[in-house]
Amino acid sequence: MSARLIAMAVSLVGDAGVVRNHMRCSEADFIAYCDGQKELNASMLEAVVALIVHEQGNLIAKNREMLGELRKRRDEEKPAS
């Protein structure tokens, strides 16, 4: 489970180093977590989940902004009735 959560966080953040720094762990421990050789303790699990939630929130906000712009353009292009 640790490896999957870390992979998700890295995918969302785009940088394994940022995820490792957020977890506040050594590079050796990070590799062990990613390889599934070591499970996350409760505080590290919480840190990874919090990072995933934060990044998902950012992604949702960006998507809403993009949809708002698309809707605005669509409404501006509608012919007057």
Each residue's pLDDT tens digit in the chain (81 positions)? 889 999 999 999 999 999 999 999 999 999 999 999 999 999 999 999 999 999 999 999 999 999 999 999 999 987 766
Closest CA to 5 of 25, 24, 21, 23: 23
Q: Are the C-beta atoms of 21 and 64 separated by less than 8 Å?
A: no
Domains of the chain by residue range:
2-77
Q: What is the model's pLDDT at position 32?
A: 96
Q: If you compute the radius of gyration of the chain from its CA atoms, what whole number of angstroms results?
A: 19
d(C-alpha 10, C-alpha 63), whole Å: 19
Rounded-to-5 percentages of helix, strand, coil across the chain: 80, 0, 20
Q: What is the model's pLDDT at position 11?
A: 95
Q: What is the model's pLDDT at position 79?
A: 74
